[in-house]
Amino acid sequence: MNILSIIIMSFIFANVIFAQESITVDQLIQKLKTDKNFILLDVRTEGEVNGQLKKIDRAINIPIQELGERFTELNKFKDKEIIVICRTQNRSFASSEFLNSKGFKTKYVTGGMVEYQRKLTLQDSEK
């Protein structure tokens, strides 16, 4: 077995063992319209949240760089589902994994704010 095969098999095995649940941007948009019983956590930096991609109004912002020190701020939401979003999905995946290890119930948004804004732009252009 060559090294590439080993790496690929290791990646697949790790994803099966440590699978993080995700939701699509379409699912998030629907959830924002119909479900008030979840927490939306944005793990981007303050500069990003105030930048071009903005922030979803009801999101709580705790940058991933501060999450290790500040995750206890979320303890009051341990009985709720926490949806984690970032710019694309890499930091939200890592944050979701971290929070799950601390006893939270999380999902990360595939495509992140880039995909969220793209979908909103498409919806606006169809009106």
Q: pLDDT tens digit string along 55-68?
A: 999 999 999 999 99
Q: What is the pLDDT along the chain (127 residues), one digit of tens a residue?
A: 555 555 555 444 444 445 679 999 999 999 999 999 999 999 999 999 999 999 999 999 999 999 999 999 999 999 999 999 999 999 999 999 999 999 999 999 999 999 999 998 887 777 6
Q: What pLDDT was estimated at residue 18?
A: 53
- pTM, entire model: 0.83
In sequence order, what DSSP letters do the residues of 47-107 get, joined into one string? HHHTSTT---TT-EE--HHHHHHHGGGGGGGTTSEEEEE-SSSHHHHHHHHHHHHTT-EEE
**Angle (nearest 5°) at CA 23 between 19 and 27:** 165
Hey, what CATH topology would domain 20-125 get? Oxidized Rhodanese; domain 1 (3.40.250)
Query: What is d(CA 120, CA 14) in angstroms, rounded to the nearest whole number?
Result: 33
pLDDT value, residue 123: 77
Where exactly are the structural domains of the chain?
20-125
First to last CA, the chain: 54
